[in-house]
Homo-oligomer: A and B are copies of this chain.
Amino acid sequence: MKLLEEKILKDGKVYPEGVIKVDSFLTHQIDTNLIFECSREWYDEFKDMGVTKILTIDGSGIGISCLVARHFNVPVLCAKKSRTNNGIGGDFYSTKVVSLTHGHEYSVTVKKQLITENDRVLIIDDFLSNGTAMKALITLCKIAGAAVVGCGAAIEKVYQGGGNDIRRMGYTVKSLAMISSVSDGGKIEFC
């Protein structure tokens, strides 16, 4: 998606070890016109797939997911990254994840009654790097017996392999900006 690629080149910042910051328009601050255009791309791709639910995970992907959900006229289910003291009550599907960014283990959970074998789920997130979070969401759908109709990421860091892992598992992954490499000098290349 040209608009997103141009925005990344214009306002993205490259830090050591290939870390790309898009905090001025996608994560810390959110350019809602930009993410609305993103949401239309995924609707075009998946509109005939009978989507019943958008699944995302706690974090900056919630906003983009809500705009996507508006097109499909379905709810967003936001998986929780850990159980808090006041819980969210009841009975949960859960899978464990090790964060490569932060090094710690956490659980990703969804309330059982909110996802069923009748659901056709579109998984949406802002970033797809090594795919840890997205694979956890796919696992939760499998446990629940729900069908995953596809996955969408705004930015895929193709060189970190997560997107292609998920494609090899047989899922459609629609990423709107696919970064193939980041040079030592900070130059971002797209596929």
Contacts and interface: CB of A to CB of B under 8 A. Distances in A.
Contacts of A88: 21, 23, 27-28
Sort chain A's interface into a size bin: 35 or more
Number of copies: 2
A135 interface: no
Contacts of A74: 32
B101 A85 contact: yes
Nearest to A68: B32
Given A63-B62, A63-B76, A102-B84, A89 B21 contact: yes
B62 A86 contact: no
A89 B23 CA distance: 9
A35 interface: yes
23 contacts: A15-B89, A19-B86, A21-B88, A23-B88, A23-B111, A28-B77, A28-B114, A29-B76, A29-B111, A30-B62, A32-B70, A32-B74, A32-B75, A33-B70, A35-B66, A36-B70, A58-B59, A63-B63, A63-B76, A66-B66, A84-B102, A85-B102, A86-B101
Interface of A: 13, 15, 19, 21, 23-25, 27-33, 35-36, 58-60, 62-67, 69-70, 73-78, 80, 84-86, 88-89, 101-103, 110-111, 113-114
